[in-house]
Structures are given as C-alpha cells and as structure tokens.
Chain A
Amino acid sequence: MTPLLSLKNVSKTFGHGDHIVQAVRDVSFDVMPGECLAVVGESGSGKTTLANMILGVFGQSSGELWFDGKPLPTRRTLEHRSAIQLVQQNPLSSLNPKRSVGASVRLGLDVYGIGSPSDRWSLVEAALEEVGLPRDFRKRPPAALSGGQRQRVAIARALACQSRLVVLDEPTSALDVLVQARVLRLLNDLRAAKGLSYVFITHDLSVVRNVADRVAVFKSGQLVECAETGAIFENPREDYTRQLIGAVPVVTREEIELRNTLATEGQT
C-alpha cells in the first residue's frame, strides 16, 4: 500500500546568520490511508512547525513531502489544499465570530469548487449533521455555541471539502473531559466511516493511547521514537518517552501501577 503522506528527511530552519533555530531536523515518517498517527512532544518540540509544513503554510528547508504517491509542492494546488485540512486547538478563536457557522463551513466548498453553488447549503447541512449538530445550526453565529459544539463545527468544516488527511492540532485540549470523550469518539467514528487519515498532534498521552494507531515522539525537533501505540506504552525505548508517560496525571490504580513499572524499568 502506498502511504498517503510521507515525509523524507524533512528539516526546517528559521532565521539566518547567528540566529538560526532548527525547528525540525531530518524527520521521516509515513502516514498510511486510514491511519491515525499521533505526534507527541513538549511545547517547542516542533510539532506545530511540522503541521504547518504538511498543510503548506510554509515550505520545508530541505527534504521532501509526498502525498498519495506524488511529490507535494510547496505551492499547493486547490486539490491538495482541499485534501489536507486542519482542525485547530481553540474553537473560540478558530471560527470567524462574524460569520454564521454555515458560512464558515461553506467557505471551503466555494473556494475549492465542490458541488454546484445551489447544492452547497445542503452539503453544509449534511456536514453539520455528520458531526452531530442539527441542520438549523447553520444560521447561528459561533457565539451561540458551546466549546464542544464549536469544535464539531471546525471538524465539519474540515470534512466538508472531501479531505483525506486531517491535521488535528490539540483538538480536545481546550475541552472538558466529558466533552472531550464525545469529540474523540466522533473523530474515531468519522475516520472509520470515511477512511480518513489523521495526524493527531497533542501532548496528552492518555488521549493518544486510545485513539492513535502509531505514535511519533518528538524532542527538540527530532523524531526520537516512532512505533505502534501498544509498543510505545508497554515498552518504550527512549527515556524521554518514559518521562512523557510518567508526567500524565492518572485516575485509576492500574494506571499508577503502569507508570511505576515504567519508572523502575527506566532506572535499571
């Protein structure tokens, strides 16, 4: 199977002269169709820089990106742009407060020329329904929606334009646990139903454990470990991964035990 997205020795540097910051160094990984790859690491580890390169916000300094078996140019075509979509962390600021929810979702359809203009409102309503919102929400301003509902709108917006890869940049860290569980479930269901691939950026490893197929661990711009989710949690190779797992606040006794065993293994 050809990977949907593949990064080959990608690096990104910012600044010039004496003030060079190497945000991403020599990173290679693949995302298969239908797969959810979690990208984890502390703030400043290059997660968001990576997302921006995948989305084409800016180009890489060196290395190559491939999408669906073809090289991905820095100047994206409309087709690429509609196929790779983003859901941001904070739904309060990612939706335009002056546009109705429906208009926000429709904008993508207009830009990418999806459907005929007369059909687009019904596509918008269908997209809203898919994420579990009533059709008549299309006329509401974002201010009339709760945080969880707004995040659903952001997801509908990303899916309405027939995307194949969605970059989720901390999609649930601004939400409460009960809402988070519902949104994660929705994301899982949509992925299964539509065969989407996710690049799931987060620093919450307990979420990763339950939604990702594979995990890529980043530390200061480098990919330190990339493996199946089960392997990462049961048998992490890197001390840094252990530290990340050890820092997760946990609720049940079994989790505390898992953390303790990881910590003692790390010392030996």
Chain B
Amino acid sequence: MRDVLRIEDLVLKFRGYTGVTEVLHGISLNIRAGERVALVGESGSGKSVTARIVLGQLQELRSAQVQGGLYFEEQDLNRLSRRQWHALRGTHMSMIFQDPTSSLNPVFTIGVQFTEVLRRRDPKLSKEAAAKRAGELLNSVSIHDHARVLNAYPFQLSGGMNQRVAIAMALANHPSLLIADEPGTALDVTVQAQTLHLMHDLVERTGTAVLFISHNLGVVREFADRIYVIYRGRIVEQGPTQAVFENPRHAYTRALMAAVPRITGGGVPEIQDMDGAFFDPLEVHGEDRP
C-alpha cells in the first residue's frame, strides 16, 4: 500500500546562544493511507516538533536546522516552495491541537472560521453554501444546534464542544493526513473518551490517515493501529499496537507502561531512575542504529 507520509532519517537541530542542540537524532517513520499511527513519548522527546516539521512550520524558523527526507503522497516536501507547502496545509494535511480554546481564534465566530477553512479549497464558495456545508460537518461530529454554534465565539462553547468543532474543521477539506497533537489532554476523562470515539469513527469513515501524538498510553491503545515510541529524539520501538502492548521489548517502553496506574489496583508503580537501558538500541533494529 502507498505511504501517505514517509519520514527518513530526520534530524533537527536548534541554534541557540549556547551553541547547537540536536533535538531529533534521525527518526524514520511511515504512515500508509487510512492508517492511524501514534507517536508516544514524554514531554521534550520530540513529538510535537516532528509534527511541526511535517507541516513545514519549523523550517520557517531561522534557528532550526532540519535535515532528512520528507515525502507526502510521493512528493518530496523538501523541494516545495513555501507557497506550495502553504497550499497543502488545511487542504491535504491538517492538524488538531491540544487546547481547542486557544487554537481557535477568539475574535471570530465559529461560522467565520469555518468559511475561511472551506474557502481554502474552494475560494469562490458563497457564504450560504459554506454555512450549509459547515452544518453538515457539525452533524458529523454530533453537534446538532448549528445556528447557535456557528454564531458563537469559541469562549462561549465548552472545551469538548470546541474540540469537536476543531475536528470538523480539520476534516472539512478531506485531507489525506490529519495530525492530532494530544487532542484529548485538555479535556476531562469522560469528554476525552467521547471526543476520541467520535474522531475514531470519523477518520475510519473518511479514510483519513492520522498521526496521533500523545503521552497517554491508554488513549493510544484505543485509538491507534500502529505505534512508534519516541525517547529523547530517537524512535526506540515500533510495531502494531496490540503487539507492542502485549509484548513491549524496549526497556523504555516497559517503564512507560509500568508507570501507568491501573484501575484494577496494585498500588502506585515503582519507578527506577533514568535507566541506562533506555538508550540501548532494540536488538531487532540494532543494525540501523548508531
């Protein structure tokens, strides 16, 4: 099957006052059409910067140096002009952020922001047609009082509602890749569960591939088909979700799983301090790692 996204040996460095810091040490991953892939790791491991690189936003930063292959639907992203890359965002690839109340613009109503998104694909779309289309999209995320929501400002809606609006907007132009950066973290557990279910069904129906970024292993288990575990800018383990959860092979993955408190009880897990084995390459991938 064809890859929607392929990242090859991606290296990211930041130039700062104290010299150059390497943040990603050569990560490779691929996402096939319609596949839900999760990138799991702690804060600071390089999850979100990877997403920003795919969107082409970090490359615009003067202090960032990005090297490595980026292929989106068989086109080499590195060869695109800024303008071409800009045209891809919001149409062929889109993103959902962690905190919906701050990712939506507070000074425009939802309706205005929806029209803007829809006009990225079809600039001549009339206001009425946009409103109609927005209504259909809101239906798909189980929001049924369209008129109220479209005329509301983001701060007038609840967090869960805003996140559903953000999901509808992200999928409005039928992107082939959706990047979801911790989409449930800012919501409380019940709302998070509802939102993720909804998103799961929706991407399944539209056949959208998803790069799901999260630190929550439980959420990942329910959402993803395949996972990559990232630790300090290196991918330490990858595989189908079921296999990785049933039989984690890398020391870091095991520690990450052991650290999650269980609802079946058993007390607070005991965690060893930074284990040297976290840096050990996994034997199966030993040959392609330094």
Residues of A within 8 A of B71 (CB): none
A204/B189 contact (C-beta < 8 A), A176-B43, A181-B271, A185-B270 known: yes
Please give, as numbers and ranges, the residues of chain A lying within 8 Å of B263 by CB-CB distance: 205-206, 209, 233, 245, 248, 250, 255, 258-259
Residues of B with C-beta under 8 A to A211: 268
B268/A181 in contact, CB under 8 A: yes
What residue in chain B is nearest A45 (Cβ atoms)?
Answer: B188
When the two chains form their complex, are residues B261 and A184 in contact, meaning their CB atoms are under 8 A apart? yes
Interface stretch among B8-16, B62-70, B210-218? B210-218
B219 CB within 8 Å of chain A: yes
CA distance A209 to B263 in the complex (A): 6
User: B260 to chain A: which residues have CB within 8 Å?
Assistant: 177, 206, 251
Query: Quick one: CB contact mask for A168-212 with B, threshold 8 Å, 1 for yes?
Result: 000000001111111011001000000000000001111101110
Considering residues A230, A233, A245, A250, which has the most beta carbons from chain B within 10 angstroms of its beta carbon? A250
Alpha-carbon distance A184/B188, docked complex (angstroms): 20
Collect the chain B residues with CB atoms within 8 Å of residue A177's CB: 42, 215-217, 256, 259-260
- CB contacts (< 8 Å) of B189 on chain A: these are 42, 203-205, 244, 247-249
State the interface size on chain A (CB cutoff 8 A). Answer: 38
CB distance from A120 to the nearest CB of B (A): 31
Give the complex CA separation of A180 and B267 in angstroms. Answer: 13
B159 contacts partner chain A, Cβ-Cβ < 8 Å: yes
**Chain A hits for B159, CB < 8 A:** 43
Closest chain A residue to B216 by CB distance? A249
* A-side contacts of B217, CB under 8 Å: 177, 249, 251
A227 to chain B, nearest CB (A): 15
- B-contact 0/1 string along A236-268, CB 8 Å cutoff: 000000011111111111110011000000000
Pick the contact of B268 from A43, A184, A255 — CB < 8 Å? A184
- Please, how many angstroms separate the alpha-carbon atoms of A21 and B188 in the complex? 21
Instruction: Report B149-194 residues with CB < 8 Å from chain A CB.
Output: 159, 188-194
- Count contacts on B: residues with CB < 8 A to the other chain: 35
A147 CA / B215 CA spacing, docked (Å)? 15
Q: Nearest chain B CB to A111's CB is how many angstroms away?
A: 32
Bitwise, B198-220 to A at CB < 8 A (1) or not (0) is: 00000000000000000111110
Q: Identify the closest chain B residue to A177 (Cβ).
A: B259
A254 contacts across to B, CB distance below 8 A: 262, 264
Residue with the greatest number of chain A CB neighbours at <10 A, chosen from B259, B265, B268: B268
Cα–Cα, bound, A179→B219 (Å): 18
Say whether B270 contacts A251, CB under 8 Å. no
Q: Would you list which residues of chain A between 43 and 87 have a CB under 8 Å from chain B?
A: 43
Give the residue name and chain of the A residue nearest to B265 (CB): A209
Q: Is B251 an interface residue (CB 8 A)?
A: no
Cβ < 8 Å to A, chain B residues 240-260? 245-246, 255-257, 259-260
Whether B271 pairs with A185 at a CB distance below 8 angstroms is: yes
Chain A residues within 8 Å of B261, by CB: 180-181, 184, 204, 206-207, 209-210
Please, which residues of chain A bring their CB within 8 A of the CB of B246? Answer: 253
Minimal beta-carbon separation of B252 from chain A (angstroms): 9
Encoded as 1 (CB less than 8 Å from any A CB) or 0, chain B from 207 to 237 comes to 0000000011111011000000000000000
Can you give 21 contacting A-B residue pairs, CB < 8 Å? Answer: A42-B190, A43-B159, A176-B215, A177-B259, A178-B271, A209-B261, A210-B265, A210-B268, A243-B190, A244-B189, A247-B189, A248-B189, A249-B193, A249-B217, A249-B221, A251-B262, A252-B262, A254-B264, A255-B264, A258-B263, A259-B263
Extra inter-chain contacts (17) besides given A176-B42, A184-B268, A255-B263, CB under 8 Å: A147-B43, A177-B42, A177-B260, A178-B255, A180-B259, A181-B259, A181-B269, A182-B271, A185-B271, A206-B263, A209-B261, A210-B265, A211-B268, A245-B263, A247-B190, A249-B192, A249-B222
Chain A residues near B (Cβ < 8 Å):
42-43, 147, 176-182, 184-185, 188, 203-207, 209-211, 230, 233, 243-255, 258-259
Complex A-B, nearest 7 residue pairs according to Cβ-Cβ distance, in ascending order: A249-B218, A247-B193, A176-B42, A181-B259, A177-B259, A247-B190, A249-B219
